[in-house]
A and B are shown apart, each in its own frame.
Chain A
Amino acid sequence: MTQVSMTVNGKSASGTVEGRTLLSQFLRDQLGLTGTHVGCDTSQCGACVVHVNGEAVKACTMLALEADGAEVGTIEGQANADGSLNVIQQAFQDHHGLQCGFCTPGMVMSAAALLKDNPTPTEAEIRDYLEGNICRCTGYHNIVKAIMAASGQDVSGIAAE
């Protein structure tokens, strides 16, 4: 068992982990940050996406020890300081970009990473970027629309309102 320390959502966090403990397990089981979800065991579904030193990372694919000393951001740290939804979260609610909510934390974290690098992505760029995030509920329609809206694009012309 090894001591690990990191900054999570701006606060220092530490714990004792096995070498095989995944970052997703550390966040969920030791820090109680259960918004990071685990939907598969092959690094495909993206429900567990978090930010590590500003990069989108699948937390099921990284050992907790690898995140020692890192700045980690999870869905629990995304809302505005006053607790209101941030621009991406609000766009997901406004455009019904979630149904069961299980993939949603990963979608929001991936969307944030995309928009950081590409502030106004095209529909095709969004769909391509979300290759590693699976949603079973929405058919992706309203997720793509929400991300376009969050980037300030006019989505009123997109079908089905």
Chain B
Amino acid sequence: MPKDHGIGASPKRREDVRFLTGAGNYTDDINVNGQAYVHFLRSDVAHAKINGIDTSAAEAMPGVVRIFTGADFEGVGGMPCGWGVTDRHGEPMQEPPHPILAQGKVRHVGDPIAAVIADTYEQARDAAEAIEVDLDDLPAVVDMKAALADGATKVHDDLTSNLCYDWVLGETDDAAVQAAFDSAAHVTTLELVNQRLVANPMEPRVAVGDYNRGTDEHTLYTTSQNPHVIRLLMCAFVLGLPEHKVRVVAPDVGGGFGTKIFHYAEEAFVTFAAKAINRPVKWTASRSEAFMSDAQGRDHVTRIELALDASNNFTALRTNTLANMGAYLSTFSSSVPTWLHGTLMAGNYKTPTIQVNVKAVFTNTVPVDAYRGAGRPEATFQIERVIDKAARELGVDPVALRRQNFITEFPYDTPVALTYDTGDYHGTMDKLEAAADFAGFAARRAASEAKGKLRGLGVNCYIEACGIAPSNIVGMLGARAGLYDAATVRVNATGSISVMVGAHSHGQGHETAFPQVVADMIGIDESMIEIVHGDTSKIPFGMGTYGSRSLAVCGSAMVKATEKVIAKAKKIAAHLLEASDADIELKDGVFSVAGTDKSVAWGDVTLTAYVPHNFPLEEVEPGLEETAFYDPANFTFPAGAYACEVEVDPETGKVTIERFAAADDFGNIINPMIVDGQVHGGIGQGIGQALLENCVYDADGQLMTGSYMDYAMPRADDVPFYTVDHSSQTPCTHNPLGVKGCGEAGAIGSPPAVVNAVIDALQSGGKNVDHIDMPVSPSRVWSAMNA
């Protein structure tokens, strides 16, 4: 029987009622009395010198309050990058300034030139059209290889080139790597593109700045996954404000997927401007604006080589990647192609020699940063595509080739800096074989062929490093922040509990899942526990939600704080029961003295804590509230195996996903319903990348996919029902819940399965096609088939 409460149960989500009745409180639903509205005039060219900006006509337009340009921000800090990468020669990465409003040049379509504040949005937009900007167009740097060529136009004139860094991980001795390849029995090489994507949470970004002259206090309401991080970055690096005078609130947030991690110029702008004009300022992005101002994702061009010995054991792996940074370094941009990508290049396999080289490149495009999976989908796609190609070249079963090379003993130190603590890749693959019904594939292929369709089965594995992250390790790797998290467990006098957490829920259901843990630990009903998040004035300093970290890191802090609460409550109970606290047991919300029938209820102890008429004041203080900070000892390593079956129409090249199965090892599971939902959503995004989505710039740096008319989002009829199995569970060995994280797995694991399936289908039809870049659109498939 499934559990009906506590850890392992799937209670209905408590946040759903407000969302289903229109009673959610998203940032755009917040209006501050007297607010003005800002519209950003954004560059419509990719690269140009700003000769002058004439705002005089616009300032005379109805309702205009004030117009800001880059000149108003001379001496104000720029948007900071949170991760410094050291290149292969020991030099720091090139780190250009990123002003709030453009200064001197515009560097991508969407770069903000001026900000118009008016009484209404319409007035601000109308006035922006009256601003005269004198621009001298410059050649746009779009293609990464061209950007690195000698004499290329520079995105940032003060840098030595468009190269941000040239970075190596793993075996740094090129000759040693080459020797491994020279002695190989077989080498498989693949060149591929992991195309640029736009995260596209359904809620566009919004920022509302408010300032109270009487108290000198700022409030920023913003669509953020990590309000404390925003406050820290904005206060310490951009505006120079004391943190105790700044409150950042991220209320209900309509999806993030990474793109709402970063500190954006618009957040700093409304905070700055609200004080400057002494009036609240609101900004709501249109979707078109989101396409040119939200940090984008992926955009890697890679050559990968896999060496195998005569027995088909992997002996060496070498990758060379160009990673697009866009025009500026977004908050965590530099870490994505390096520490979130290079470190995963061992995959699930024992490959003794690995060399990963990444060159990060500036171009005149929107900045690129973390998007669901962030580096790990790029790593997985390379590994799992090259293995599939190798299997085909060698004429061996692709699943057998994977199994032969699986890591089977843990802990396992990879050649690329990680220590996998636990896993069972054979066991997870066994689950997949059942869930995906490999045995029935031949019959399904025959049925498809009878209809004139080609059918393919694609399989792949993945591993990810989650629970981001151990602060000492990431500090050595260049992170400019710790990556612990925090929770405060406040027990109220009558026994109910408020848990203030650093994690932020924007779809993950923390308000439902986190109480399941605390309820289990104390033995009380989940309804007595509420989760408070998203407001720096209420929660302890925590790092927010991304990298599948909430439960593994913040949840662990919550467990530690709850343990402290229980320890103190036992002391109070011991006093009430006239026993030693070592003899006190807590079960089902009742404290009892071991071996006796003496007991006292949870609520009596909590009331005693706050009404201490009979209290051991010499031993413990009144009150029952504890805070814990938790810094993980290691990353967590969710892993899994995915299978996709496609049909390809040989006449049109149209690919249809017929079946999709996922077997994941997330360690222990708190709420299976929510975990299933996270995997479903990740798969949906992965299928979107594999078949549909592509963020395209033309040679002049014009964004060709600037709306949902051009950027193909997956729709309900593009995807099937998914089969999800997470019964393969090897608990994480180093956090108290044994959890690994599940938020990104689907997006990491699914793209190679789809592409492998398409190649399998084409090969079954006698087409000699060994790779198609994503998105595997009908035109690309048709062209490959007919090449």
Query: A: which residues have CB within 8 A of B?
Result: 18, 20, 28, 33-42, 44-45, 47, 74-76, 78-79, 85, 89, 92-94, 96, 98-105, 108, 123-124, 126-128, 130-131, 133-145, 158-161
A130 and B721 within 8 A (CB) = no
Q: Which residues of A contact B17 (CB under 8 A)?
A: 85, 93
- Residue among B122, B713, B721 with the highest chain A CB neighbour number at 10 A: B721
Can you list, as one digit per residue, whether each of B291-328 has a CB less than 8 Å from chain A (1) or not (0)?
00000000000000000000000000000000000000
Cα–Cα, bound, A127→B656 (Å): 14
Option from B15, B202, B508, B684 in Cβ contact (under 8 Å) with A139: B684
Q: Which chain B residues numbered 82 to 116 have a C-beta less than 8 Å away from chain A?
A: none
Q: Which chain B residues numbered 242 to 297 have a C-beta less than 8 Å away from chain A?
A: 252-255, 257, 286-288
Can you list, as one digit per residue, whether each of B179-204 has a CB less than 8 Å from chain A (1) or not (0)?
00000000000000000000011111
Considering only CB atoms and an 8 Å cut-off, how many residues of chain B contact the other chain?
A: 58
A42 and B21 within 8 A (CB) = no
Closest to A93 in B: B16
B723 and A134 within 8 A (CB) = no
Cα–Cα, bound, A125→B28 (Å): 33
Is B410 engaged at the interface, CB distance under 8 Å to the other chain? no
Q: Which residues of B contact A94 (CB under 8 A)?
A: 12
Cα–Cα, bound, A79→B717 (Å): 28
Option from A28, A100, A133 in Cβ contact (under 8 Å) with B506: A100
Cα–Cα, bound, A38→B121 (Å): 15
Closest 3 A-B residue pairs measured CB to CB?
Answer: A35-B22, A139-B684, A101-B19
In the complex, how many angstroms separate the beta carbon of B690 from the nearest chain A beta carbon?
Answer: 13
Q: Which residues of A contact B218 (CB under 8 A)?
A: none
Can you list, as one digit per residue, whether each of B46-85 has a CB less than 8 Å from chain A (1) or not (0)?
0000000000000000000000000000000000000000
Q: Which chain B residues numbered 701 to 716 have a C-beta less than 8 Å away from chain A?
A: 707-709, 713-716
B204 and A127 within 8 A (CB) = no
**Contacts A35-B23, A100-B203 known; 14 new A-B pairs at CB < 8 A:** A34-B29, A35-B22, A38-B28, A38-B204, A40-B287, A76-B23, A85-B20, A96-B676, A99-B507, A101-B18, A136-B200, A138-B681, A139-B714, A141-B680
Cα–Cα, bound, A89→B746 (Å): 26
Option from A41, A135, A142 in Cβ contact (under 8 Å) with B202: A135
Cα–Cα, bound, A136→B692 (Å): 14
In the complex, how many angstroms separate the beta carbon of A154 from the nearest chain B beta carbon?
Answer: 14
Cα–Cα, bound, A139→B122 (Å): 35
Option from B26, B255, B677 in Cβ contact (under 8 Å) with A142: B677
Option from B23, B287, B506, B509 in Cβ contact (under 8 Å) with A42: B287
Q: Which residues of B contact A35 (CB under 8 A)?
A: 21-24
Closest to A85 in B: B20
Q: Which chain B residues numbered 651 to 702 have a C-beta less than 8 Å away from chain A?
A: 673-674, 676-677, 680-685, 687
A131 and B254 within 8 A (CB) = no
Cα–Cα, bound, A137→B508 (Å): 9
Cα–Cα, bound, A30→B267 (Å): 26
Is B13 engaged at the interface, CB distance under 8 Å to the other chain? yes
B722 and A160 within 8 A (CB) = yes
Cα–Cα, bound, A75→B20 (Å): 7
A100 and B723 within 8 A (CB) = no
A99 and B707 within 8 A (CB) = no
B203 and A141 within 8 A (CB) = no
A128 and B674 within 8 A (CB) = no
B22 and A74 within 8 A (CB) = yes
In the complex, how many angstroms separate the beta carbon of A42 from the nearest chain B beta carbon?
Answer: 5
Option from B203, B252, B687, B716 in Cβ contact (under 8 Å) with A130: B716
Q: Which residues of A contact B714 (CB under 8 A)?
A: 139-140
B20 and A139 within 8 A (CB) = no
A76 and B715 within 8 A (CB) = no
In the complex, how many angstroms separate the beta carbon of A65 from the nearest chain B beta carbon?
Answer: 15
Please list 21 pairs of residues, one from A and one from B, whose beta carbons are closer than 8 Å in the complex, sorted by A's number.
A33-B22, A34-B22, A35-B24, A40-B707, A41-B286, A42-B288, A93-B20, A94-B12, A96-B673, A96-B676, A100-B255, A102-B24, A126-B716, A127-B716, A131-B717, A134-B708, A135-B202, A139-B685, A139-B722, A140-B719, A160-B676
Q: Which residues of B contact A37 (CB under 8 A)?
A: 26, 202-203, 254
Closest to A88 in B: B20
A76 and B254 within 8 A (CB) = no
In the complex, how many angstroms separate the beta carbon of B644 from the nearest chain A beta carbon?
Answer: 13
Option from A47, A74, A101, A127 in Cβ contact (under 8 Å) with B507: A101
Option from A99, A102, A123, A144 in Cβ contact (under 8 Å) with B26: A102
- Residue among A89, A93, A108, A123 with the highest chain B CB neighbour number at 10 A: A93
B254 and A101 within 8 A (CB) = yes
Q: Which residues of A contact B204 (CB under 8 A)?
A: 38-39
Query: B: which residues have CB within 8 A of A?
Result: 12-13, 15-24, 26, 28-29, 122, 200-204, 252-255, 257, 286-288, 506-509, 673-674, 676-677, 680-685, 687, 707-709, 713-717, 719, 721-724, 746
Closest to B672 in A: A161
B287 and A45 within 8 A (CB) = yes
Q: Which residues of B contact A34 (CB under 8 A)?
A: 22, 24, 26, 28-29
Supposing A39-B202, A41-B286, A126-B716 touch, asked if A139 and B680 sit within 8 A by C-beta, the answer is yes
A136 and B286 within 8 A (CB) = no
In the complex, how many angstroms separate the beta carbon of A13 from the nearest chain B beta carbon?
Answer: 15
Cα–Cα, bound, A45→B26 (Å): 17
Supposing A18-B122, A42-B709 touch, asked if A134 and B676 sit within 8 A by C-beta, the answer is no
In the complex, how many angstroms separate the beta carbon of A106 from the nearest chain B beta carbon?
Answer: 9
Cα–Cα, bound, A39→B746 (Å): 24
Closest to A105 in B: B22
A100 and B20 within 8 A (CB) = no
Closest to A133 in B: B716
- Residue among A74, A127, A128 with the highest chain B CB neighbour number at 10 A: A127
In the complex, how many angstroms separate the beta carbon of A47 from the nearest chain B beta carbon?
Answer: 6
Cα–Cα, bound, A100→B21 (Å): 14
Closest to B199 in A: A136
Supposing A85-B20, A136-B685, A140-B716 touch, asked if A100 and B254 sit within 8 A by C-beta, the answer is yes
B122 and A136 within 8 A (CB) = no
Q: Which residues of A contact B684 (CB under 8 A)?
A: 135-136, 138-141
Supposing A40-B287, A96-B673 touch, asked if A139 and B19 sit within 8 A by C-beta, the answer is no
Option from A44, A101, A103, A126 in Cβ contact (under 8 Å) with B709: A44
Supposing A42-B709, A133-B716 touch, asked if A139 and B683 sit within 8 A by C-beta, the answer is yes
Q: Which residues of B contact A45 (CB under 8 A)?
A: 202, 287, 708
Cα–Cα, bound, A119→B762 (Å): 40
Cα–Cα, bound, A137→B681 (Å): 5
In the complex, how many angstroms separate the beta carbon of A98 from the nearest chain B beta carbon?
Answer: 6
B22 and A76 within 8 A (CB) = yes
In the complex, how many angstroms separate the beta carbon of B172 from the nearest chain A beta carbon?
Answer: 40
Closest to B673 in A: A96
A139 and B286 within 8 A (CB) = no
Q: Which residues of A contact B202 (CB under 8 A)?
A: 37, 39, 45, 47, 100, 102-103, 134-137
Q: Which residues of A contact B721 (CB under 8 A)?
A: 123, 141, 144-145, 158-160
Closest to A18 in B: B122
Q: Which residues of B contact A123 (CB under 8 A)?
A: 721
In the complex, how many angstroms separate the beta carbon of A64 from the nearest chain B beta carbon?
Answer: 13
B203 and A104 within 8 A (CB) = no
Cα–Cα, bound, A19→B201 (Å): 30
Q: Which residues of A contact B677 (CB under 8 A)?
A: 96, 99, 137-138, 141-142
Q: Which residues of A contact B16 (CB under 8 A)?
A: 92-93, 98, 101
Cα–Cα, bound, A144→B507 (Å): 18
Q: Which residues of A contact B723 (CB under 8 A)?
A: 159-160
A42 and B15 within 8 A (CB) = no
A130 and B509 within 8 A (CB) = no
Option from B28, B252, B719, B724 in Cβ contact (under 8 Å) with A159: B724
Cα–Cα, bound, A126→B201 (Å): 23
- Residue among A45, A133, A136 with the highest chain B CB neighbour number at 10 A: A136
Cα–Cα, bound, A139→B680 (Å): 5
A96 and B716 within 8 A (CB) = no
A98 and B715 within 8 A (CB) = no
Q: Which residues of B contact A124 (CB under 8 A)?
A: 717
A139 and B719 within 8 A (CB) = yes
